[in-house]
Amino acid sequence: MEALKDGKVNMIGVWGMGGVGKTTLVKEVGKKTKELGCFRKVIEVVVSQKSIIENIQYKIADFLDLEFKKKTKEGRAEELWLRLKNEEKVLIILDDMWNEVHLKDIGIPLNENGKGCKIILTTRLLKVCESMECQVFVPIDVLDDDEAWTLFRMKANLNERVSRDILEEAEKVAKECKGLPVAIVTLATALESTKTRKGWEVARKKLESSRLVEIGNIGEEEKNAYLCIKMSYEHLKKETNQKCFLLCALYPEDHSINVEDLVRYAWCLELFGKADSIEEVRIQVLGAIDYLKDSSLLLKDGDGDGARYGP
């Protein structure tokens, strides 16, 4: 927040491993700074692995209600540049960057004498912060033991009425998440209904044994997140919920999922078996989406039925 107020700082890089809370943090920062009046406009753009300049241009233009007249990438960059360079107090959040992009190619003018834009970018890769010439780096680390346990208890509903021996066993499970928020949130929510010490012990043993399984070409920390999410997935009680989650997982991360599209896919793929009407499928999809949101496997998107594929 301090860096954002600093007139000399235009480019801030938030860097940390997958699931550590970068998107959550910058969304909160965007909201707070707007409330405090530090910025008039806060434009959030999910960049993701296929950082295509055209997509970023259209997302920003959409926010600004700007209709491009030019057809080429360069033409659009010029239109965007002309529009943004006289705007005051604009913050652009470029979330989930994997490669360097040239702001000029997009059409983003950096802040100069109070006009133009400030940028916060998030990335898993330090080299992206470096190549984008961030003036301030904000490394995000995993939660410490106390924070992790507090979050786990909250999500698993382990309140003060829960007995000591259950808490002891649950704490061991929480430690398996290694302080990673995405692992804590999904696992704790999945195990919320576990009410006995034995139940928690079974969960811990299952996690420990699945650690021995090889999964693809990924590092130890990422493996940890995958295992916790896998266990949450296995805890989804009904097959319809699991199928719906797998369908959502085909969307890019942080992509807004149109529920009506899901209904149509599910209907055409006969995801839930043969149904007499699309209305029947819609009821199943809406039920599954609610369940997945409650299980922290999907994120809420806006105020309505919308969902985002998060973990």
Ligand X SMILES: Nc1ncnc2c1ncn2[C@@H]1O[C@H](COP(=O)(O)OP(=O)(O)OP(=O)(O)O)[C@@H](O)[C@H]1O
Residues at the interface with Mg ion (CB under 5 A): 23, 96
Question: To 10 degrees, the CA torsion angle through 110, 113, 115, 119?
Answer: 30
In the bound state, the residue with its beta carbon closest to ligand X is: 21
Nearest to 175, CA basis, from 187, 166, 165: 187
**CA-to-CA distance for 81 and 116, rounded, in angstroms?**
9
Question: 21 contacts which partner out of ligand X, Mg ion, none, CB within 5 to 8 A by kind?
Answer: ligand X
Which of 20, 29, 84, 94 is close enough to bind ligand X by CB under 6 A?
20
Nearest to 181, CA basis, from 311, 93, 12: 311
Angle ∠(194,157,185) on CA atoms, nearest 5 = 90
Question: 182 contacts which partner out of ligand X, Mg ion, none, CB within 5 to 8 A by kind?
Answer: ligand X
Question: 296 contacts which partner out of ligand X, Mg ion, none, CB within 5 to 8 A by kind?
Answer: ligand X
Sequence-distant (≥ 6) Cβ neighbours of residue 211 within 8 angstroms: 223, 227
Please state the closest distance from residue 1 (CB atom) to ligand X, in A: 15
Please say which residue, 60 or 182, places its beta carbon nearer to ligand X.
182
Please say which residue, 44 or 79, places its beta carbon nearer to ligand X.
44
Question: 185 contacts which partner out of ligand X, Mg ion, none, CB within 5 to 8 A by kind?
Answer: ligand X
Please say which residue, 107 or 181, places its beta carbon nearer to ligand X.
181
Please say which residue, 201 or 222, places its beta carbon nearer to ligand X.
222
Does 296 sit near ligand X (CB under 6 A)? Answer: yes
Can you say whether the dihedral through the CA atoms of 142, 146, 148, 151 is positive or negative? negative
Does 24 sit near ligand X (CB under 6 A)? Answer: yes
Please say which residue, 79 or 96, places its beta carbon nearer to Mg ion.
96
Which of 13, 21, 109, 179 is close enough to bind ligand X by CB under 6 A?
21
Please state the closest distance from residue 214 (CB atom) to ligand X, in A: 21
**CA-to-CA distance for 208 and 173, rounded, in angstroms?**
9
Please state the closest distance from residue 253 (CB atom) to Mg ion, in A: 7
Which of 34, 85, 124, 255 is close enough to bind ligand X by CB under 6 A?
124
Does 182 sit near ligand X (CB under 6 A)? Answer: yes
**Residue given tokens 């043969």 in the structure block:** 274
Please say which residue, 241 or 296, places its beta carbon nearer to ligand X.
296
- In this structure, are strands 117-123 and 136-139 parallel, antiparallel, or unpaired? unpaired
Interface with ligand X (CB under 6 A), residue total 16
| Distance set, CA 66 to CA 86, 90, 105, 239 (Å) | 14, 15, 17, 44
Does 22 sit near ligand X (CB under 6 A)? Answer: yes
Could you tell me the strand order of the sheet in which 136-139 lies?
41-46, 90-97, 117-123, 11-15, 136-139
Nearest to 261, CA basis, from 289, 302, 298: 289
Binding stretches for ligand X (CB under 6 A) = 16, 18-24, 96, 124, 151, 181-182, 185, 296, 310
